[in-house]
Structure 1
Amino acid sequence: MKSPISPPSSSVRRKTKAKTRIITSPRRETCGTSDPNATDWIIQVNESLEGMSSDEQQYWKKWSIYKVPSYVADLNPKAYQPQVVSFGPYHHGKEHLRPMEDHKRRVLFQFLRRSGKLLQHYIESLRKVAGDLEASYDALDPKWKEGSVDGAADQFLELMITDGYFMLQILRYATGKVKGEYEDNDPIFSKHGDLYVHPVIRRDMLLLENQLPMLVLDWLVAICYGVQKDESINSLILNFCSRSVDSVSKEKCLHVLDVFRKNMLKEPEKKDKAESQVSEEIIRSATELREHGIYLKKSDTNSLKNISFDSGVLRLPGIVVDEDTESMFLNLIAFERFHVGAGSEVTSYIFFMDDVIDKGQDVALLHTRGIIDNAMESDEAAAKLFNSLAMGVVLDPDSSLHDVINKVREYCRKRRHKWRANFIHTYFRNPWVILSLIAGVLLFGLTMVQTVYTVLGYNK
């Protein structure tokens, strides 16, 4: 496909030359050239602009699944690449992912056999939304698009059905809804698969480049089970992908990663938005905050938005840090970075935690407070993980965390809080110091009493 500003081909020139015969000479003089080819090119550009509709100018609004640019992916290429399974067209056909393709086809064959219908029947049913599915991908290879080559549209829809049904079966298996459909020694849908394969699939399912439009899952649920409820699909996704699910949002989501993200950001109550001044400095690390008299405490929910500071207590949501944490957060940050309107709450959380965590001792302190459950090889490794996640991220000027940062900084400026904290850390760190302090106070009191009695006896 040629760009509208590229030099026109000979066939295009013949078309435009027929039009130039009705162009008067004054218009050519206005163009500032007597070259007919240049005039034809200008006319072609004008016609292209006139024919461009508002929908074509804003087609990117339908994007929700993005190809991570090299300048981002090169920082940590493995974080954005699936390890065992591909969902969608971006990584389809890669050599190391082909073994799972056999399992996808096996699952699809069982579905078709139970339904008694051919695959073409479902392709024709899904064809009506093919354009919307294609438009969800910002960098879809032309070979998948309708009209590029014969059968390209069918190949794309077949991919959507195959990957979508396999994903749906994985999600349903996690809730025990596919018992009896597979053998006990099935490599995927069995205890063995649940132990060794599903954790990697879960990780791959949360990659930005490895998403399927939610429209596919909606359609499959409606076709296979006769219901179409967003909250039921969201529940399946969260049951498989999330460690803690207090409630399931009924909000319309774009794909699995979006469902997971919204669950991480849910909050129990809405707070009034108050104008907050953008902080000019970062806050201190966890150990430094403790030295300034700030007590770190786990929030009552695990929502990443549930960060607050009041009366010297900084509350942070609990989080499990393991080998999959880096990939998960990098893809959530990438989604917020490339999807307009997604928000920046996860990015803001990482920015804030990068300030709170500087070294391994900060992780150790947060662990003792129940805020971080560290499954990494060391506290230093967990600290480096958060520091690496924050590379290149910025805090949204409208983030509510600015208010928290300002309150913490104001509290740290007051010296009495630091003096009190030093007194407590110095004299109340262990029971022996406490006993020594008590003994010293008692001794001082007895000395004062003895002095008073001595003075009174002397006067008498």
Structure 2
Amino acid sequence: MEDPIDELATTIMKKCETLPPLSSKCCIYRIPRNLRKINENSYTPSLISIGPFHRGNPSLHAMEEQKLRYLHRFIQRNGNRDLEDYLTASMKWEKEARDSYLATITLSSIEFTEMLVLDGCFIIEFFLTWQGNTIDHNDRIFHRPALSQAVLRDLKLLENQIPLFILEILYNIAFEDNKKVPSFLKLTCECMIGIGKVPKHFQKTKMLHLVDFLRTYYLPPEREEICYENQDWDFPDGISELYESGVTLKVDKDDKFLNIKFENGILYIPELMLENHTESQLRNLVAFEQCHYPRESYVVDYVLFLDSLIYDKKDVDVLVNHGVILNSPGSSEDVYRLFSNISKGTTYSRGSFYYADVCRRLNEYCKTPWNRWKAILRQDYFNNPWSMISTIAAIVLLILTVIQTYCDIIQLQY
């Protein structure tokens, strides 16, 4: 009889030999369990499945018919191309597309290619309809604004992606000779971000999918690799404490919400509009960075920094009153709960924390007694015209009293 240890070793080695090769092109991930359990709804599509991870989910089945309708409409945009052209091009890039997923995809070649074409053409046709001025009166999505917003939200989920290069291939086939349509990047900017031009850095950046597209847009315009030999920094106090210590808070109208600066005692924070889907978008950007960009975690660092500024609802009120947070759907309690939960389960590197220098300079500024004294004067004695007038009058009266006392002393001496 064969030694049971030898038999077990042979079995394990056979399993090792049949493992699929790892790819460096992996960029579409399942959400890590430690993040998903905090708020599962933020990572789960509510209306439509894109890609293989949620394919076949019965609760999303209703949109499969709409995918076919959008596919048919998309193919009609170029009379010189038929469905076979799109299928052939997608199948040619099947291996590269499969390599984009962390998990092994068990779909057959035919099923996988069908998914790429159906989902890819749906996304492009959705963007074209979003950007267009006329909408088919029979369209089931755009005649119900809540549905179009729900679809757009689902397209920003990490688990709901197909590679961006597949979308570009399908788009270029449909509009190969049409100079009147915008570039695919411009179309995506209009629909995903709401801007009419392609940022300069997009031209030299390879974006992996729509979540990476969003992250690339929000990245700081000038960023260098951060590596501090000295990691001697701490998170600052809550924003209300900073304000009482002399820090002036100003809202920055820059829509790049990551671009936080501290200069000459002024903390500039871009405004953040909290809408129904903001939490979902932030969470998926955070999850993508945790999986793919652990040393370039700008969004993770952002939510950690904002979390450090929000110790309680009083801090939320300061940010709302200064226009930093535009909180349309909820209360201060909702905002406090959002930022206290959104950073749970995340990891970051102290040596590459993007706001380390901001934290260090904030703490140094607040330790200077003169800055706190100025803040007390500003907040307690010069916070409105009447208190300012009263304070100035008191100072003038004090000066006159000192002068009168001095004059009386001089007269007594002579």
Scaled by the length of structure 2, the TM-score of the pair is 0.88
- Once the two structures are TM-superposed, the CA of residue 341 in structure 1 deviates from its matched residue by 6.3
- Once the two structures are TM-superposed, the CA of residue 40 in structure 1 deviates from its matched residue by 5.7
Scaled by the length of structure 1, the TM-score of the pair is 0.80
- Once the two structures are TM-superposed, the CA of residue 228 in structure 1 deviates from its matched residue by 11
The CA deviation string for residues 228-267 of structure 1, in whole angstroms up to 9 with x for no partner, is 99x9333322221225677522211000110001101141
State the match for 1:265 in structure 2.
Answer: 219
1:242 aligns with 2:205: no
Task: Indicate the structure whose relative CO is greater, using CA pairs within 8 Å and at least 6 residues apart.
Answer: 2
- Once the two structures are TM-superposed, the CA of residue 39 in structure 1 deviates from its matched residue by 3.8
State the match for 2:371 in structure 1.
Answer: 417
| Distance in structure 2 (CA, Å) of the matches to 1:392 and 1:124 | 42
Q: How many residues align?
A: 407
The CA deviation string for residues 370-412 of structure 1, in whole angstroms up to 9 with x for no partner, is 3221213212211211111011223322123112111111222
Distance 1:112 1:221, change over 3 A: closer
Is the CA contact 1:357–1:386 (under 8 Å) kept in the aligned structure 2? yes
State the match for 1:110 in structure 2.
Answer: 73
State the match for 2:2 in structure 1.
Answer: 35
| Distance in structure 2 (CA, Å) of the matches to 1:188 and 1:47 | 50
| Distance in structure 1 (CA, Å) of the matches to 2:13 and 2:109 | 32
Q: Secondary structure at the match of 1:309?
A: strand
| Distance in structure 1 (CA, Å) of the matches to 2:197 and 2:218 | 11
1:203 aligns with 2:153: yes
The CA deviation string for residues 328-361 of structure 1, in whole angstroms up to 9 with x for no partner, is 1111111111125672110010010000112222
| Distance in structure 2 (CA, Å) of the matches to 1:113 and 1:127 | 21
Distance 1:455 1:71, change over 3 A: closer
| Distance in structure 2 (CA, Å) of the matches to 1:228 and 1:389 | 44
Q: Secondary structure at the match of 2:273?
A: strand
Distance 1:324 1:296, change over 3 A: same
State the match for 2:128 in structure 1.
Answer: 172
Q: Secondary structure at the match of 2:268?
A: strand
Identity in percent: 29
Q: Secondary structure at the match of 1:296?
A: strand
Amino acid across the alignment from 1:308: K
User: Which of 284, 287, 290 does residue 337 from structure 1 map onto?
Assistant: 290
Q: Kindly report which structure 2 residues correspond to 1:23-422, keeping only aligned pairs within 5 A, or say none.
A: 35=2, 38-39=5-6, 42=9, 58-59=22-23, 61-113=24-76, 115=79, 119-142=83-106, 144=107, 152-176=108-132, 179=133, 182-189=135-142, 192-193=143-144, 195-226=145-176, 232-243=183-194, 247-248=198-199, 249-250=202-203, 251-267=205-221, 269-270=222-223, 275=228, 277-299=230-252, 301-339=254-292, 343-397=296-350, 398-422=352-376
| Distance in structure 1 (CA, Å) of the matches to 2:83 and 2:346 | 45
Amino acid across the alignment from 1:86: S
Is the CA contact 2:27–2:101 (under 8 Å) kept in the aligned structure 1? yes
Q: Secondary structure at the match of 1:209?
A: coil
Amino acid across the alignment from 2:41: K
> Structure 1, unaligned stretches of length 5 or more?
1-33, 145-151
State the match for 2:401 in structure 1.
Answer: 447
User: Which of 432, 437, 446 does residue 386 from structure 2 map onto?
Assistant: 432
| Distance in structure 2 (CA, Å) of the matches to 1:243 and 1:112 | 26
- Once the two structures are TM-superposed, the CA of residue 298 in structure 1 deviates from its matched residue by 2.6
Q: Secondary structure at the match of 1:376?
A: coil
Q: Secondary structure at the match of 2:326?
A: strand
| Distance in structure 2 (CA, Å) of the matches to 1:98 and 1:296 | 48
